[in-house]
């Protein structure tokens, strides 16, 4: 189209003729394409014809061009009685630029996460029991969405409640090989992370529904306490 390299010998004659004859359809299509691309607003067929050389048929060129853009990343669309090139509707998501903002996890979320990590597999009721307050759906959803916790097996107790466990993603984020690597209470205390020193001999009471968790963590912790 662009390369009319094989111009006939009698170029002068052709040129003179072309003053009266419309350019080939391929050329007209290019013209419509360029005009629609550069225009600040949709262009009517009438205006296209007005801007193109005499004898052009913008309406026909539009038909060809529309076909050419079918299924492409941009399409030729009709806006009233005018035409414009627009992003294909399915690619609208590309017209967004994401900026990521990092925030600290809320206290409720970090506490819930800590309970899942130390007591997994743990049911929602057990989390509430340990925290002493209800766990909002939003908090659990947030942790699920972050892929730090996931659903574990259902507990084989009446109501078959779902349990939560931490994910590999969680372990990766916190640089742990397994949840068992989490320091136990004694270690936390030694590190000064427990503000209040309970009377000696008093061990933390787990929630009553917490049998599994108790079993699971006891081992992990005693292991840690050995050194």
User: Which partner, its own copies, other proteins, none, binds residue 149 by CB below 5 to 8 Å per kind?
Assistant: none
The site partner of 173 among other proteins, its own copies, none (C-beta below 5 to 8 Å per kind) is: other proteins
Candidates 11, 19, 95, 156; binder of its own copies (CB under 8 A) is 95
> Residue 224, interface with its own copies (CB under 8 A)?
no
Q: Following DSSP, what letter does each residue of 61-87 receive, concatenated?
A: HHHHHHHHTTTSSEEEEEETTEEEEEE
Please report whether residue 35 would count as binding its own copies according to CB under 8 A: yes
Q: Which of 195, 172, 173, 171 is nearest to 185 (CA)?
A: 195
Q: What are phi and psi of 210, to 5 degrees?
A: -95, 20
Q: Which does 174 bind (CB under 5 to 8 A by kind): other proteins, its own copies, none?
A: other proteins
Which among 25-33, 170-178, 199-207, 213-221 is the span making contact with its own copies, rule CB under 8 A? 25-33
Tokens for 76, please give them: 């030729």
- Residue 159 vs residues 43, 140, 184: alpha-carbon distances, Å: 65, 19, 31
Q: Among its own copies, other proteins, none, what binds residue 158 when CB lies within 5 to 8 Å by partner kind?
A: none
How many chain residues interact with other proteins (CB under 8 A)?
Answer: 75
Which residue in the set 25, 105, 125, 224 belongs to the binding site for other proteins (CB under 8 A)? 105
Q: How far apart (Å, rounded) are the C-alpha atoms in residues 74 and 39?
A: 15
Q: Is 109 in the site for other proteins (CB under 8 A)?
A: yes
Contacting other proteins within 143-172 (CB under 8 A): 146, 172
Give the residue, chosen from 8, 71, 132, 158, that forms a contact with other proteins under the rule CB under 8 A: 132
Residue 11 binds its own copies, judged by CB under 8 A: no
**Strands 149-151 and 122-123: what pairing?**
unpaired
Q: Is 54 in the site for other proteins (CB under 8 A)?
A: no
The total number of residues shown for the chain amounts to: 227
CA nearest 60: which of 88, 35, 27, 87? 27
Binding mask 154-193 for its own copies (x = CB under 8 A): x-------x-------------------------------
Q: How far is Cα 90 from Cα 110, in angstroms, rounded to an integer?
A: 38
**What is the CA 34 to chain-centroid distance, rounded?**
35
185 binds, among its own copies, other proteins, none (CB under 5 to 8 A by kind): other proteins
């Amino acid at each position: 189209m662009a390369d009319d390299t094989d111009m006939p010998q009698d170029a002068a004659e052709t040129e003179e003729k072309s003053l009266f004859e419309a350019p080939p359809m391929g050329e007209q299509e290019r013209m419509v394409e360029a005009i629609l691309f550069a225009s600040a607003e949709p262009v009517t067929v009438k205006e296209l014809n007005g801007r193109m050389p005499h004898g052009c048929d913008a309406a026909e060129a539009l038909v060809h061009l529309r076909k050419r853009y079918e299924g492409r990343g941009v399409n030729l669309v009709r806006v009233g009685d005018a035409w414009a090139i627009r992003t294909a509707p399915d690619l609208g998501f590309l017209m967004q630029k994401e900026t990521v903002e990092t925030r600290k996890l809320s206290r409720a979320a970090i506490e819930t996460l800590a309970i899942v990590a130390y007591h997994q597999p743990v049911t929602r009721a057990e989390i509430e029991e340990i925290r002493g307050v209800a766990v909002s759906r939003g908090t659990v959803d947030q942790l699920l969405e972050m892929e730090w916790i996931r659903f574990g097996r259902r507990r084989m107790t009446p109501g078959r409640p779902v349990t939560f466990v931490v994910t590999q993603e969680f372990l990766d984020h916190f640089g742990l090989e397994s949840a068992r690597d989490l320091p136990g209470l004694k270690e936390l205390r030694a590190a000064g992370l427990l503000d209040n020193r309970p009377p000696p001999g008093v061990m933390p009471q787990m929630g009553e529904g917490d049998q599994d968790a108790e079993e699971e963590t006891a081992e992990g912790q005693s292991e840690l306490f050995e050194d």
